[in-house]
Chains A and B, each alone.
Chain A
Amino acid sequence: MQERDALLKKKVQDSVEQIPSDQLLLLDPIIEKYQGSMSYLIPALKEAQETFGYLPMEVQRKLAKGLNIPAPHIYGVVTFYSFFTVTPRGRHTIRLCLGTACYVKGAKDMLQIIVKEVGINVGETSKDGRFTLEAVRCLGACGLAPVMMIGEDTHGNIIPSATLGILEGYQ
């Protein structure tokens, strides 16, 4: 239990240190824009994540103060929705579709290849900061199954053995 608490504390501290305080000023326009109603919280968090790439504790705390929403509530929302992340991202986010159509067309084999060759599991970022791997539930491009998004690019009709070749293009 103590060990876990210590770990949690360290995690929190780590994330605090990663954002210099002058950068937190970038949140001010977001706070101004979304003040007034709790229902603006999700759009506000989205914009904050677009600014910082992720939502470390310090960002959440500042939003809590600025929007006058309890910090635990914000943490609850951040951890509930898969779109939000509290850890930094790699340069390229791989969104591998594991929806039904992609799954029956070989997305599982692609996942195995990425896990083995890039050395990251779903939700992890590679040590060199190049890739973050995410499994998504359906990109709604089932006509092109199996589908993988890297950053904003959608790659469809992938033959599993060609997966690594596609990744080569993203350094």
Chain B
Amino acid sequence: MCASPYYRLQLMMCAGTGCIASGSLDVRDALEREIAKRNLQNEVQIIMTGCNGFCAMGPLVVVYPDGIFYNQVRPEHAPIIVEEHILKGRVVEKLLFKDETVKGRVPLMKDIGFFGLQRLIVLRNRGLIDAENIDEYIARDGYAGLAKAITEMTPEQVIEEVKKSGLRGRGGGGFPTGMKWEECRRYDNFPKYTICNGDEGDPGAFMDRSVMEGDPHSVLEGMAISGYAIGAEHGYIYVRAEYPLAIQRLQKAIEDARSYGLLGQDILGKGFNFDIGIAPGAGAFVCGESTALMYSIEGKRGMPRIKPPRSAEAGLWNQPTNLNNVETFANLNPLILNGGDWFASIGTENSKGTKVFALTGAVNNVGLVEVPMGTSLKTLIFDIGGGIPKKRKFKAAQIGGPSGGCIPLGMEDVEIDYESLQGVGAMMGSGGVVVMDEMTCMVDTARFFTNFSVDESCGKCTPCREGLKVMFDKLTDIVEGRGQEGDVEFLIELGHHINNTSHCGLGKSAANPVLSTIQYFRNEYDAHIRDKHCPALVCPDLIDFVVIEEKCKMCGLCFKNCPSDAIVWEKKKVAWIDQSKCTRCRTCITNCKFGAIR
């Protein structure tokens, strides 16, 4: 990885989308200038890597060989890094990660809780290689899995190995990958296709993006292995339009792999032909559904069709087609190299291997984490995620996006695998975990997801198209103070109808956010409907905007932040809200540290 004999130090800079948005390219330019100024360009090398995972702390610089981790680096820090660390060998204290749990600075990357508790298989190369350099991927055993598969194994043996590993689809459904391949192999109808689903549409999920941007070759290698196993010579990667950087890096990776003879005709001289094309999406959530995705590649409206026939029999252009998720493909190199038994030794009884989660929302360490299946939600949020910021309380975690559900306080000991998540009313989904604190209203959250599903429904079948709209209107009534007794029962009944009678997997799970919030937070619905009050103080129509005198500490923060001068306050006096000026914007509520406004 970084054992180049030519350089004394190597600076690995994160060039994922998150860090670029935080300004990592400017930091690189500044560092390069400083290094050139001191004539160190032959001793120190800067390498731009894929997403490091710790997006919230970006831009990130890791200095090897020691593994010193600097976060939130700005261009103006470049001189001090070069002067102190690179020239004099002294670590720059103020740029180290500040650990809230131990109240101190942590110099080494491996000692940071966020990184230390993870187990990397899919993200094995994260932060270690230049995403655009095929040689660095190969140096980390890249394409060795493909080589092993096509030189030492028959396609049947590859399938057997994948079946033995217990690898299941990482896109959400959890269908055993080996069985999917086996079925597709059975059909003697050529050409066959293998497709990578990179239409990561779940809000709050960005693990596929990070893999495609940070380690594109691992996806290509996985696809080639699957092509060999099922007998396909063509592959497509469907990437959503919102990920231009992923498309660009995959394109370069495909060209590099072709020029190395790892894609194209007669790969490694073994007579196996396989090539990959990129099919960019154009912004439709439903295209993450397999049949819709295939229609979209064909240049049609992406609307799911009824199964059977399954895609393995009649998929893209009615030919046998295998479709897997980005993360599933990225698992294949280590799986083939180390064997199915090795893979099956990680995880729980029915869910093997690791899972990448995008940990976001009200949590200290926002970012991408990879943990073995069976890790508890508590470990994920509190040990890796560093807990909830601003001393607030954990309320729920939303897992699985618009098809998933909420796991409330009191159930955070649940072990994360496919079955146990379904058991508590959520689902694995693609792996977005949005943490919610006490300032989140669950009715409003349910309404948010329903609105999402209304917008993204393709409109083909009635329960999803019309039922969700009715559901959304009812939820709007509730959050705006027009809720009535019986509304919750109505929502439950309607939700079950939608889930039972919709066509595709998305419609079948579209009511889950509503049903699961009702299951665990029925009291909040009742408060909205009966008391006309929003307990989390989110729904503006159900807040009184009155200062609770006993709780007011007279600090004046509400007064200073109010954009419409509606707060009357003097030093050492309780604040008071002038209702005629108040625009119900909630700025005072978010700023009050004592919960003194209701």
Within A46-85, which residues are at the interface with B (CB < 8 Å)? 46, 69, 73, 76-77, 80-84
Question: Closest chain B residue to A145 by CB distance?
Answer: B360
CA distance A105 to B452 in the complex (A): 17
Count of A interface residues, CB-CB < 8 Å:
44
Choose among B22, B206, B300, B301 the residue that contacts A142 (Cβ–Cβ < 8 A). B206
The contact string, 1 if C-beta is below 8 Å from chain A, for chain B 455-474, is: 11010000000000000000
Does A138 touch B at the CB level, under 8 Å?
yes
- B279-287, B517-525, B527-535: which lies at the A interface? B279-287
Does B209 touch A at the CB level, under 8 Å?
yes
Does B537 touch A at the CB level, under 8 Å?
no
Q: Is A83's CB under 8 angstroms from B241's CB?
A: yes
Hey, which chain A residues are within 8 Å of B456, CB to CB? 137
Hey, which chain B residues are within 8 Å of A142, CB to CB? 55, 204-206, 358, 360, 366, 432
Given contacts A82-B284, A103-B448, A161-B561, contact A138 B202 (CB under 8 A): yes
Hey, which chain A residues are within 8 Å of B202, CB to CB? 138
- B118-126, B127-135, B218-226, B291-299: which lies at the A interface? B291-299
Choose among B243, B285, B398, B458 the residue that contacts A140 (Cβ–Cβ < 8 A). B243
Shortest distance in angstroms between B163's beta carbon and chain A's nearest beta carbon?
Answer: 32
Hey, which chain B residues are within 8 Å of A154, CB to CB? 17, 20-21
CA distance A110 to B60 in the complex (A): 28
CA distance A10 to B362 in the complex (A): 49
Given contacts A43-B280, A45-B282, A104-B362, contact A144 B204 (CB under 8 A): no
Does A37 touch B at the CB level, under 8 Å?
yes
Choose among A38, A77, A141 the residue that contacts B18 (Cβ–Cβ < 8 A). A141
Q: Is B298's CB under 8 angstroms from A39's CB?
A: yes
Does A169 touch B at the CB level, under 8 Å?
no
Q: Is A46's CB under 8 angstroms from B440's CB?
A: no
CA distance A80 to B460 in the complex (A): 12
Shortest distance in angstroms between A128's beta carbon and chain B's nearest beta carbon?
Answer: 24
CA distance A38 to B298 in the complex (A): 6
CA distance A147 to B200 in the complex (A): 18
Shortest distance in angstroms between B363's beta carbon and chain A's nearest beta carbon?
Answer: 10
Hey, which chain B residues are within 8 Å of A43, CB to CB? 280
Question: Closest chain A residue to B448 by CB distance?
Answer: A103
Question: Closest chain B residue to A84 by CB distance?
Answer: B282
Question: Closest chain B residue to A153 by CB distance?
Answer: B21
Q: Is A42's CB under 8 angstroms from B296's CB?
A: yes
Q: Is A139's CB under 8 angstroms from B563's CB?
A: no
The contact string, 1 if C-beta is below 8 Å from chain B, for chain A 131-156, is: 00000111111111101000000111
Q: Is B22's CB under 8 angstroms from A156's CB?
A: yes
Interface residues, chain B, with chain A CB atoms under 8 Å away:
17-18, 20-22, 54-56, 58, 200-206, 209, 241-243, 279-285, 296-302, 358, 360-362, 366-367, 398, 401, 432, 434, 436, 440, 445, 448-449, 452, 455-456, 458, 561, 563, 585-587, 590
What 5 pairs across the A-B complex have the smallest Cβ distances? A143-B55, A99-B203, A81-B282, A41-B299, A154-B21
Can you name 27 A-B residue pairings with CB atoms under 8 Å? A38-B300, A39-B279, A39-B298, A69-B299, A73-B300, A81-B284, A82-B282, A83-B241, A98-B448, A100-B203, A100-B432, A101-B434, A103-B448, A109-B586, A138-B203, A140-B200, A140-B243, A142-B204, A142-B432, A143-B54, A143-B58, A144-B18, A144-B22, A144-B56, A154-B21, A156-B22, A161-B587
